[in-house]
Amino acid sequence: MAVSGLVSDGYQIATILRDAAINSSFVYKQEARVSQLCAATTRKLQSCTQHSSRRPYGVGIVLAGVDESGVQLHQIMPTGESYECEAISIGSRSQASKTYLEKRLKNLPSMTLDELVLLSLSALREACPDGKLDAESCTLGAVHAGEFRLLGDSDVHRYLSLINHRNG
């Protein structure tokens, strides 16, 4: 899960997702499907738009996961709308990243994990006002081959140096 917006709202949504995953494991004795977690999140976000006494959540979410259906990526809007995506960017200045990714969508299925990470970082760099992206300002996570893996700082530095070498 990646969020853009109010940190406290993102924390609450992360708790909702965690509770839904635990509930599925406890009640059904199986891991929750990504689509179920997405639906639980959208119900919670959308319910706040139904009453004038409740403040809508101020957070956009990217939810990625792997289940029996394969790798899935969902964008969840603060209003409770959700979209299944092949590639997505959220947050301020995200349109530049989205445009960069859209131009390269046809190549996604044939890309290796390294190529996908490089593509993601290049798209993220497109959203930087000065075009400079450093390892201190980003964290990388990858959903690949049925598992989620958080990449370390050394990996981030290596990928960023590859991008800079390509462009410089």
pLDDT in tens, 137-168: 888 888 766 677 888 888 888 998 888 777 65
Residue 132 has pLDDT above 90, yes or no: no
What tokens appear for 6 in the block? 């109010």
Write down the CATH number for the domain with range 1-85.
3.60.20.10
Where along the chain do its domains lie?
1-85, 91-168
User: pLDDT tens digit string along 45-72?
Assistant: 888 888 878 888 899 999 988 888 888 8
Q: What is the pLDDT of residues 114-127, one digit of tens each?
A: 898 899 999 988 88
C-alpha dist (Å) from residue 76 to 1, 44, 45, 115: 10, 11, 9, 25
